[in-house]
Structure 1
Amino acid sequence: MHTLPHTAKAHQHPPAQRGETLVGLLVGMAMGLVVLAAGSHMLAQHLRGHQWALQDSHLHHDLRAALDTMATALRQAQFVGEAATERSATGCQDPFCSGPAGLSIAGQRIDFGHDRDLDGRLDNNECTGFRLHQNKLQVRTACTPEVWTDLTDAGSLKMTQLQWQLHCEPRGPWLARWVTVHVHAQWPRESARQLQISQTVGLRNHVAATPWPTACGQIP
């Protein structure tokens, strides 16, 4: 029987296994922490952006609701239930044409009347209007003494500006009018985040063009 000759490889030991060094582990952990921090920052930014989007949506909704309330009331400005007999192009005799129930604008405030019970007489609860007071939108609910009720909460919607522009146009003996409302607001705790909305509202109830209303400014 012949035996195979021993070779050098038969006497060699397998290579020794080497583990990761402490320095390598520390570097790997550091890189992992950097990646984790970057991911956390991106998540925080995403959540912050989502929160801002929700807040802006609420701000826009509240501001739009306030503007819609004003627009609904303005369309009925100077309405009188006895218009067929009390109001004519040659002269306006009802109490909703002028005086405390007439249409007037002063600064950030607008006033007008509305014949709610259709009797042609001015009752104390038929003077209305809107104004900006202490960053809140208020509605007028009484003639004398004036009573104002908050429509918005400055804690959730800070109103900063309210502007009115009245446009008048003679149409024969009658006067057609429309009001443009400009509203500025901001997020209560972040003044840099602001919102502006404008809307033009047509007044449905015409008044006589003569005499020319003071609220309309100069005669065109």
Structure 2
Amino acid sequence: MTAERERGETLMGLLVGLSVGLVVLAAGSALLANHLRGHRTALQDSHLHHDLRSAIDWMARELRKAQYTANAWETRSPTACEDAFCDGPEDFSIAGHRIEFSHDRNHNGQQDMNECMGFRLAGKALQAKRSCNASGDWQAITDSANLHITELRWQLHCEEHQGWLHRSIQMVLTAQWPTDASRQVSLSHTVHMRNDLPASQQARFCP
């Protein structure tokens, strides 16, 4: 009996199979790379949104306290405002992308050096005012290496009611990813200020 000749894969067949395998592997690698890039972009956008939301929420909490003083019931009436938190531009003013205000942190009715506050856009960073001195001791509260603040806008609304000014401020804060200007987030927040002012002070604090 003649033994059957054993037959294996030809060299050409092996090369074709190897080529097909490499094509499939390359396609899979490309899909994986795209998936990883998408995941990284989504994670970066999430961090950008979180950092911006944290900043605007903190700003809103501080703004609600603007011009608070512990003895307002003694110093303020619909026709007068006679306390240290109602007598100058450091107590409340808006100019361009900057806002400044004061509030009575220690509830003693007197304006101490650490009771002036404010926010402004400087370069690509958001800064906060820390004192009532001439320089203001402005300090960055965002890191321009992680996000670029591109817009900080304020819109003040005033409404008179029974001799008092009810005020609200709409804030708009916009930031972008440092290495990609096309990826940006913009948040808007309306702050209802808790401390009404006498209507007689409208020209000074609510023009």
TM-score band, normalised by the shorter chain?
over 0.9
Q: Paired residue for 1:83?
A: 72
Q: What are the ranges of 5 or more consecutive residues in structure 1 without an aligned counterpart?
A: 1-10
- Aligned pair partner of 1:56 in 45, 54, 63: 45
- Aligned pair partner of 2:180 in 172, 190, 193: 190
Q: Deviations 1:88-133 (Å, cap 9, x if unpaired)?
A: 1111111212314321110110001111122222222111110011
Q: Give the structure-2-normalised TM-score.
A: 0.93
Identity across aligned pairs (percent)?
51
- Aligned pair partner of 1:40 in 10, 20, 29: 29
Work out whether 1:205 is the aligned partner of 2:195: yes
Q: Paired residue for 1:5?
A: none
Distance, in Å, in 2 between the alignment partners of 1:214 and 1:17 is 102
Q: Paired residue for 1:101?
A: 90
Q: Secondary structure at the match of 2:194?
A: strand
Q: Secondary structure at the match of 1:195?
A: strand
Contact 1:166 1:215 in 2 (8 A): no
Q: Secondary structure at the match of 1:59?
A: helix
Count residues in correspondence: 206
Q: Paired residue for 1:7?
A: none
Contact 2:166 2:197 in 1 (8 A): yes
Contact 1:78 1:113 in 2 (8 A): yes
Shifted more, 208-217 versus 147-156: the winner is 208-217
User: Root-mean-square deviation (CA), in Å?
Assistant: 1.5
Q: Paired residue for 2:169?
A: 179
Q: Secondary structure at the match of 2:195?
A: strand
Deviation at 1:149? 1.3
Distance, in Å, in 2 between the alignment partners of 1:211 and 1:127 is 19
Contact 1:186 1:194 in 2 (8 A): yes
Work out whether 1:113 is the aligned partner of 2:75: no
Q: Secondary structure at the match of 1:80?
A: coil
Q: Deviations 1:179-201 (Å, cap 9, x if unpaired)?
A: 11100001112222111111111
Larger gyration radius, structure 1 or structure 2: 1
Distance, in Å, in 1 between the alignment partners of 2:203 and 2:62 is 20
Contact 2:81 2:201 in 1 (8 A): no
Q: Secondary structure at the match of 1:95?
A: coil
Relative contact order, higher structure (CA 8 A, sep 6+) = 2
Q: Secondary structure at the match of 2:83?
A: coil
Distance, in Å, in 2 between the alignment partners of 1:57 and 1:189 is 16
Distance, in Å, in 1 between the alignment partners of 2:131 and 2:86 is 17
Work out whether 1:147 is the aligned partner of 2:137: yes
> AA paired with 2:80?
G
Distance, in Å, in 2 between the alignment partners of 1:36 and 1:103 is 64
Q: Give the structure-1-normalised TM-score.
A: 0.88
Work out whether 1:157 is the aligned partner of 2:157: no
